[in-house]
Amino acid sequence: MVDPQDLVVASSRRQKHVDDVLDRFFSLAKNRAAAIGPRYVTLWQTLERNTSGGKRFRPGMVMGAYESLGGTDSEAAAHIGAAFELLHTALIVHDDVIDRDFIRRGGVNVSGVYRDFAQTAGIPVPAAEHRGLSVAVIAGDLALSNAFRMIDKAGVGDEMRRRLHDIFDEALFASAAGELFDVDFSQLKSMPTVDEVVDMERLKTAVYSFESPCEAGAVLAGASDEAVRALASFGRNIGIAYQIVDDVLGVFGDEAATGKTTIGDLREGKRTVLIAYASGCPEWLEISQWLGLPDLTREQAGVVRRSLEACGARQYAEDLAREFADRAIEELASDALPDATRDEFQPVIDAVLRRVR
Protein backbone atom coordinates (compact mmCIF):
# COMPACT_ATOMS: atom_id res chain seq x y z
CA MET A 1 0.00 0.00 0.00
CA VAL A 2 1.54 3.22 -1.16
CA ASP A 3 1.90 6.26 1.03
CA PRO A 4 2.06 9.46 -0.99
CA GLN A 5 4.87 10.85 1.18
CA ASP A 6 6.14 12.96 -1.65
CA LEU A 7 2.83 14.77 -2.14
CA VAL A 8 2.80 17.51 0.41
CA VAL A 9 -0.67 18.96 0.76
CA ALA A 10 -0.97 19.32 4.50
CA SER A 11 0.50 22.66 5.51
CA SER A 12 2.35 22.62 8.80
CA ARG A 13 -0.62 24.37 10.43
CA ARG A 14 -2.97 21.64 9.26
CA GLN A 15 -0.51 18.90 10.16
CA LYS A 16 -0.20 20.31 13.66
CA HIS A 17 -3.95 20.50 14.08
CA VAL A 18 -4.38 16.84 13.10
CA ASP A 19 -1.43 15.84 15.27
CA ASP A 20 -3.10 17.56 18.23
CA VAL A 21 -6.34 15.66 17.67
CA LEU A 22 -4.45 12.38 17.43
CA ASP A 23 -2.30 13.20 20.47
CA ARG A 24 -5.42 13.74 22.56
CA PHE A 25 -6.96 10.54 21.25
CA PHE A 26 -3.89 8.43 22.05
CA SER A 27 -3.40 10.05 25.48
CA LEU A 28 -6.93 9.11 26.42
CA ALA A 29 -6.55 5.58 25.05
CA LYS A 30 -3.27 5.05 26.91
CA ASN A 31 -4.89 6.21 30.14
CA ARG A 32 -7.73 3.78 29.65
CA ALA A 33 -5.25 1.03 28.79
CA ALA A 34 -3.26 1.73 31.97
CA ALA A 35 -6.29 0.63 33.99
CA ILE A 36 -6.02 -2.77 32.28
CA GLY A 37 -2.28 -3.32 32.41
CA PRO A 38 1.13 -2.10 31.25
CA ARG A 39 1.27 -4.55 28.35
CA TYR A 40 -1.86 -2.99 26.92
CA VAL A 41 -0.30 0.47 27.24
CA THR A 42 2.66 -0.83 25.23
CA LEU A 43 0.32 -1.94 22.45
CA TRP A 44 -1.25 1.51 22.31
CA GLN A 45 2.17 3.17 22.32
CA THR A 46 3.21 0.97 19.42
CA LEU A 47 0.05 1.81 17.52
CA GLU A 48 0.64 5.51 18.19
CA ARG A 49 4.18 5.32 16.84
CA ASN A 50 2.82 3.61 13.73
CA THR A 51 0.36 6.46 13.25
CA SER A 52 2.89 9.26 13.61
CA GLY A 53 5.69 10.33 11.34
CA GLY A 54 3.59 10.55 8.17
CA LYS A 55 2.96 13.73 6.24
CA ARG A 56 -0.78 13.59 7.02
CA PHE A 57 -1.54 13.36 3.34
CA ARG A 58 -5.18 12.31 3.71
CA PRO A 59 -6.03 14.87 6.41
CA GLY A 60 -4.40 17.45 4.12
CA MET A 61 -6.81 16.46 1.34
CA VAL A 62 -9.80 16.70 3.69
CA MET A 63 -8.78 20.07 5.09
CA GLY A 64 -7.75 21.44 1.69
CA ALA A 65 -11.16 20.58 0.26
CA TYR A 66 -12.94 21.92 3.31
CA GLU A 67 -11.13 25.22 3.69
CA SER A 68 -10.95 26.03 -0.01
CA LEU A 69 -14.71 25.56 -0.21
CA GLY A 70 -15.24 28.07 2.58
CA GLY A 71 -15.34 25.85 5.66
CA THR A 72 -14.23 27.59 8.86
CA ASP A 73 -14.62 24.96 11.60
CA SER A 74 -11.09 23.66 11.33
CA GLU A 75 -11.52 21.59 14.51
CA ALA A 76 -14.22 19.52 12.81
CA ALA A 77 -12.12 19.15 9.65
CA ALA A 78 -9.08 18.10 11.69
CA HIS A 79 -11.19 15.35 13.31
CA ILE A 80 -12.37 14.04 9.94
CA GLY A 81 -8.77 14.20 8.77
CA ALA A 82 -7.65 12.29 11.86
CA ALA A 83 -10.34 9.67 11.13
CA PHE A 84 -8.81 9.09 7.68
CA GLU A 85 -5.35 8.92 9.22
CA LEU A 86 -6.49 6.19 11.63
CA LEU A 87 -8.20 4.35 8.78
CA HIS A 88 -4.91 4.51 6.89
CA THR A 89 -3.05 3.11 9.91
CA ALA A 90 -5.56 0.27 10.24
CA LEU A 91 -5.27 -0.60 6.56
CA ILE A 92 -1.47 -0.57 6.41
CA VAL A 93 -1.12 -2.52 9.65
CA HIS A 94 -3.41 -5.24 8.26
CA ASP A 95 -1.87 -4.97 4.78
CA ASP A 96 1.50 -5.70 6.37
CA VAL A 97 -0.01 -8.77 8.04
CA ILE A 98 -1.21 -9.95 4.64
CA ASP A 99 2.15 -9.25 3.00
CA ARG A 100 4.07 -10.60 6.01
CA ASP A 101 6.04 -7.37 6.15
CA PHE A 102 7.78 -6.42 9.37
CA ILE A 103 9.23 -3.13 8.17
CA ARG A 104 7.58 0.09 7.01
CA ARG A 105 9.19 3.40 6.16
CA GLY A 106 12.55 2.03 7.24
CA GLY A 107 11.43 1.19 10.79
CA VAL A 108 9.78 -1.85 12.33
CA ASN A 109 5.99 -1.84 12.11
CA VAL A 110 3.60 -3.27 14.74
CA SER A 111 4.32 -6.84 13.58
CA GLY A 112 8.03 -6.12 13.68
CA VAL A 113 7.98 -4.65 17.20
CA TYR A 114 6.16 -7.68 18.59
CA ARG A 115 8.23 -10.16 16.61
CA ASP A 116 11.32 -8.59 18.14
CA PHE A 117 9.85 -8.67 21.67
CA ALA A 118 9.17 -12.38 21.20
CA GLN A 119 12.63 -13.11 19.83
CA THR A 120 14.20 -11.28 22.75
CA ALA A 121 12.11 -13.51 25.03
CA GLY A 122 13.73 -16.53 23.39
CA ILE A 123 10.94 -17.53 21.02
CA PRO A 124 12.23 -18.99 17.74
CA VAL A 125 11.69 -17.06 14.48
CA PRO A 126 8.56 -18.64 12.96
CA ALA A 127 6.62 -18.45 16.26
CA ALA A 128 7.97 -14.95 16.96
CA GLU A 129 6.83 -13.80 13.52
CA HIS A 130 3.40 -15.28 14.09
CA ARG A 131 3.19 -13.47 17.41
CA GLY A 132 4.06 -10.21 15.65
CA LEU A 133 1.37 -10.74 13.03
CA SER A 134 -1.18 -11.75 15.69
CA VAL A 135 -0.70 -8.57 17.66
CA ALA A 136 -0.87 -6.54 14.44
CA VAL A 137 -4.30 -8.04 13.72
CA ILE A 138 -5.46 -6.76 17.12
CA ALA A 139 -3.81 -3.35 16.71
CA GLY A 140 -5.40 -2.84 13.29
CA ASP A 141 -8.83 -3.63 14.75
CA LEU A 142 -8.36 -0.93 17.37
CA ALA A 143 -7.29 1.63 14.77
CA LEU A 144 -10.20 0.72 12.50
CA SER A 145 -12.96 0.97 15.07
CA ASN A 146 -11.53 4.19 16.44
CA ALA A 147 -11.35 5.68 12.96
CA PHE A 148 -15.13 5.33 12.74
CA ARG A 149 -15.54 6.74 16.23
CA MET A 150 -13.33 9.74 15.47
CA ILE A 151 -16.08 11.02 13.18
CA ASP A 152 -18.46 11.04 16.17
CA LYS A 153 -16.06 13.35 17.93
CA ALA A 154 -16.06 15.98 15.17
CA GLY A 155 -18.95 17.78 16.83
CA VAL A 156 -21.15 17.92 13.74
CA GLY A 157 -24.92 17.52 13.55
CA ASP A 158 -26.71 14.21 13.19
CA GLU A 159 -27.40 14.46 9.45
CA MET A 160 -23.83 15.56 8.62
CA ARG A 161 -22.40 12.80 10.77
CA ARG A 162 -24.46 10.26 8.88
CA ARG A 163 -23.24 11.54 5.51
CA LEU A 164 -19.63 11.48 6.65
CA HIS A 165 -20.03 7.96 8.01
CA ASP A 166 -21.47 6.89 4.66
CA ILE A 167 -18.45 8.27 2.81
CA PHE A 168 -16.11 6.64 5.29
CA ASP A 169 -17.97 3.36 5.03
CA GLU A 170 -17.69 3.51 1.24
CA ALA A 171 -13.93 4.08 1.58
CA LEU A 172 -13.48 0.94 3.68
CA PHE A 173 -15.89 -1.03 1.46
CA ALA A 174 -13.75 -0.14 -1.56
CA SER A 175 -10.37 -0.78 0.01
CA ALA A 176 -11.44 -4.18 1.33
CA ALA A 177 -12.42 -5.12 -2.24
CA GLY A 178 -9.11 -3.76 -3.57
CA GLU A 179 -7.14 -5.69 -0.98
CA LEU A 180 -9.07 -8.85 -1.88
CA PHE A 181 -8.26 -8.43 -5.58
CA ASP A 182 -4.62 -7.68 -4.76
CA VAL A 183 -4.39 -10.89 -2.73
CA ASP A 184 -5.88 -12.74 -5.71
CA PHE A 185 -3.37 -11.19 -8.11
CA SER A 186 -0.40 -12.04 -5.97
CA GLN A 187 -1.41 -15.59 -5.22
CA LEU A 188 -3.29 -16.85 -8.26
CA LYS A 189 -1.54 -17.79 -11.45
CA SER A 190 -3.65 -16.08 -14.12
CA MET A 191 -2.54 -12.62 -15.28
CA PRO A 192 -4.99 -9.74 -14.68
CA THR A 193 -5.78 -7.32 -17.49
CA VAL A 194 -4.64 -3.70 -17.36
CA ASP A 195 -8.21 -2.69 -16.54
CA GLU A 196 -8.31 -5.13 -13.65
CA VAL A 197 -5.04 -3.78 -12.26
CA VAL A 198 -6.26 -0.17 -12.55
CA ASP A 199 -9.52 -1.15 -10.87
CA MET A 200 -7.67 -2.85 -8.04
CA GLU A 201 -5.43 0.20 -7.53
CA ARG A 202 -8.45 2.49 -7.55
CA LEU A 203 -10.30 0.39 -4.98
CA LYS A 204 -7.37 -0.42 -2.75
CA THR A 205 -5.82 3.02 -2.46
CA ALA A 206 -7.24 5.80 -4.65
CA VAL A 207 -10.67 5.78 -3.03
CA TYR A 208 -9.67 6.04 0.61
CA SER A 209 -6.57 8.16 0.04
CA PHE A 210 -7.81 10.66 -2.55
CA GLU A 211 -11.48 10.39 -3.49
CA SER A 212 -13.10 9.97 -0.07
CA PRO A 213 -11.01 12.61 1.74
CA CYS A 214 -11.90 15.14 -1.02
CA GLU A 215 -15.55 14.16 -0.84
CA ALA A 216 -15.68 14.31 2.95
CA GLY A 217 -14.04 17.73 3.06
CA ALA A 218 -16.47 19.09 0.44
CA VAL A 219 -19.52 17.63 2.19
CA LEU A 220 -18.38 19.01 5.52
CA ALA A 221 -18.00 22.44 3.90
CA GLY A 222 -21.64 22.26 2.79
CA ALA A 223 -20.65 22.40 -0.91
CA SER A 224 -23.24 21.82 -3.66
CA ASP A 225 -23.85 18.29 -4.90
CA GLU A 226 -22.15 19.20 -8.17
CA ALA A 227 -19.07 20.53 -6.36
CA VAL A 228 -18.89 17.41 -4.20
CA ARG A 229 -19.19 15.18 -7.26
CA ALA A 230 -16.53 17.09 -9.21
CA LEU A 231 -14.03 17.12 -6.37
CA ALA A 232 -14.59 13.44 -5.55
CA SER A 233 -14.05 12.58 -9.22
CA PHE A 234 -10.94 14.76 -9.26
CA GLY A 235 -9.64 12.79 -6.29
CA ARG A 236 -10.42 9.42 -7.84
CA ASN A 237 -8.69 10.26 -11.12
CA ILE A 238 -5.59 11.87 -9.66
CA GLY A 239 -5.39 8.98 -7.21
CA ILE A 240 -5.39 6.43 -10.03
CA ALA A 241 -2.79 8.49 -11.92
CA TYR A 242 -0.65 8.52 -8.79
CA GLN A 243 -0.84 4.75 -8.44
CA ILE A 244 0.06 4.10 -12.09
CA VAL A 245 3.05 6.43 -11.84
CA ASP A 246 3.99 4.50 -8.74
CA ASP A 247 3.98 1.28 -10.75
CA VAL A 248 6.38 2.89 -13.23
CA LEU A 249 8.68 4.30 -10.54
CA GLY A 250 8.73 0.92 -8.82
CA VAL A 251 10.72 -0.36 -11.81
CA PHE A 252 12.15 2.70 -13.57
CA GLY A 253 12.43 5.23 -10.73
CA ASP A 254 15.49 6.99 -9.47
CA GLU A 255 16.23 5.15 -6.23
CA ALA A 256 18.10 8.14 -4.83
CA ALA A 257 15.15 10.45 -5.47
CA THR A 258 12.26 8.19 -4.47
CA GLY A 259 14.03 6.27 -1.69
CA LYS A 260 12.40 3.17 -3.11
CA THR A 261 14.10 0.09 -4.55
CA THR A 262 13.47 -0.52 -8.25
CA ILE A 263 14.05 -4.24 -8.00
CA GLY A 264 11.48 -5.19 -5.32
CA ASP A 265 8.42 -5.22 -7.59
CA LEU A 266 10.26 -7.37 -10.15
CA ARG A 267 11.52 -9.84 -7.55
CA GLU A 268 8.04 -10.06 -6.09
CA GLY A 269 6.49 -10.52 -9.55
CA LYS A 270 3.97 -7.82 -8.63
CA ARG A 271 1.04 -7.46 -11.01
CA THR A 272 1.31 -3.83 -12.07
CA VAL A 273 0.02 -1.93 -15.09
CA LEU A 274 3.46 -2.44 -16.69
CA ILE A 275 3.35 -6.19 -16.25
CA ALA A 276 -0.29 -6.65 -17.22
CA TYR A 277 0.39 -4.72 -20.44
CA ALA A 278 3.61 -6.59 -21.18
CA SER A 279 1.94 -9.98 -20.77
CA GLY A 280 0.26 -9.42 -24.14
CA CYS A 281 3.52 -8.64 -26.00
CA PRO A 282 6.03 -10.89 -27.79
CA GLU A 283 8.67 -9.77 -25.26
CA TRP A 284 6.69 -11.54 -22.54
CA LEU A 285 8.57 -14.81 -23.08
CA GLU A 286 11.77 -13.03 -22.12
CA ILE A 287 10.25 -11.02 -19.27
CA SER A 288 8.28 -13.80 -17.64
CA GLN A 289 11.29 -16.02 -17.10
CA TRP A 290 12.87 -13.42 -14.79
CA LEU A 291 9.79 -12.08 -13.09
CA GLY A 292 9.21 -13.19 -9.51
CA LEU A 293 12.70 -14.60 -8.94
CA PRO A 294 13.47 -13.69 -5.32
CA ASP A 295 17.20 -13.50 -6.11
CA LEU A 296 16.93 -11.58 -9.37
CA THR A 297 20.25 -9.78 -9.97
CA ARG A 298 20.69 -6.13 -10.97
CA GLU A 299 21.84 -7.31 -14.42
CA GLN A 300 18.76 -9.49 -14.90
CA ALA A 301 16.55 -6.62 -13.71
CA GLY A 302 18.21 -4.48 -16.37
CA VAL A 303 17.23 -7.04 -19.02
CA VAL A 304 13.61 -6.97 -17.81
CA ARG A 305 13.59 -3.16 -17.84
CA ARG A 306 14.87 -3.04 -21.41
CA SER A 307 12.21 -5.54 -22.49
CA LEU A 308 9.47 -3.53 -20.75
CA GLU A 309 10.64 -0.44 -22.64
CA ALA A 310 10.97 -2.32 -25.93
CA CYS A 311 7.43 -3.69 -25.77
CA GLY A 312 6.05 -0.24 -25.01
CA ALA A 313 4.83 -1.06 -21.51
CA ARG A 314 6.56 1.93 -19.95
CA GLN A 315 5.22 4.34 -22.55
CA TYR A 316 1.75 2.83 -22.23
CA ALA A 317 1.71 3.22 -18.45
CA GLU A 318 2.99 6.80 -18.59
CA ASP A 319 0.37 7.72 -21.18
CA LEU A 320 -2.33 6.09 -19.10
CA ALA A 321 -1.24 8.03 -16.01
CA ARG A 322 -1.37 11.27 -18.00
CA GLU A 323 -4.83 10.35 -19.25
CA PHE A 324 -6.15 9.98 -15.70
CA ALA A 325 -4.37 13.17 -14.65
CA ASP A 326 -6.06 14.96 -17.57
CA ARG A 327 -9.45 13.78 -16.36
CA ALA A 328 -8.58 15.05 -12.90
CA ILE A 329 -7.62 18.44 -14.40
CA GLU A 330 -10.94 18.57 -16.24
CA GLU A 331 -12.92 17.85 -13.09
CA LEU A 332 -11.01 20.48 -11.18
CA ALA A 333 -11.94 23.01 -13.88
CA SER A 334 -15.64 22.47 -13.09
CA ASP A 335 -17.72 25.65 -12.78
CA ALA A 336 -19.06 24.27 -9.52
CA LEU A 337 -15.64 24.68 -7.88
CA PRO A 338 -14.13 28.01 -6.82
CA ASP A 339 -10.65 29.14 -7.81
CA ALA A 340 -9.52 28.61 -4.22
CA THR A 341 -10.11 24.87 -4.65
CA ARG A 342 -8.21 24.85 -7.94
CA ASP A 343 -5.30 26.68 -6.29
CA GLU A 344 -5.40 24.22 -3.43
CA PHE A 345 -5.16 21.08 -5.54
CA GLN A 346 -3.09 22.21 -8.54
CA PRO A 347 0.11 21.35 -6.63
CA VAL A 348 -1.13 17.75 -6.24
CA ILE A 349 -1.54 17.48 -10.02
CA ASP A 350 1.85 19.08 -10.58
CA ALA A 351 3.51 16.68 -8.18
CA VAL A 352 1.98 13.64 -9.87
CA LEU A 353 2.94 14.82 -13.36
CA ARG A 354 6.44 15.76 -12.22
CA ARG A 355 6.94 12.11 -11.32
CA VAL A 356 6.25 11.04 -14.90
CA ARG A 357 9.17 11.36 -17.28
* Bridge partner residues of 107 (DSSP): 104
* Bridge partner residues of 103 (DSSP): 108
- Min separation Cβ 274 and a second copy, Å: 23
Q: Residues 136, 141, 142, 144: what is their CA dihedral angle, to the nearest 10 degrees?
A: 120
Judged by the rule CB under 8 A, the positions of this chain that interact with a second copy are: 32-33, 36-37, 39-40, 43, 90, 94, 97-98, 100, 118, 121-123, 127, 130-131, 134-135, 137-138, 140-142, 144-146, 148-149, 152, 158, 162, 165, 169, 172-174, 176-177, 179-181, 183-184, 187-189, 203
Smaller CB separation from a second copy, 94 or 271? 94
- Min separation Cβ 139 and a second copy, Å: 8
Distance CA 88, CA 144 (A): 9
Smaller CB separation from a second copy, 172 or 308? 172
- Min separation Cβ 129 and a second copy, Å: 11
- Min separation Cβ 327 and a second copy, Å: 20
Contact 59, 18 (CB under 8 A): yes
Smaller CB separation from a second copy, 185 or 345? 185
Smaller CB separation from a second copy, 166 or 226? 166
- Min separation Cβ 256 and a second copy, Å: 33
The DSSP bridge pattern shows strands 103-104 and 107-108 to be antiparallel
Smaller CB separation from a second copy, 243 or 307? 243
Smaller CB separation from a second copy, 95 or 283? 95
Amino acid at 225: D
Smaller CB separation from a second copy, 28 or 257? 28
Contact 239, 211 (CB under 8 A): yes
- Min separation Cβ 186 and a second copy, Å: 9
Contact 353, 248 (CB under 8 A): no
Distance CA 263, CA 252 (A): 9
- Min separation Cβ 18 and a second copy, Å: 21
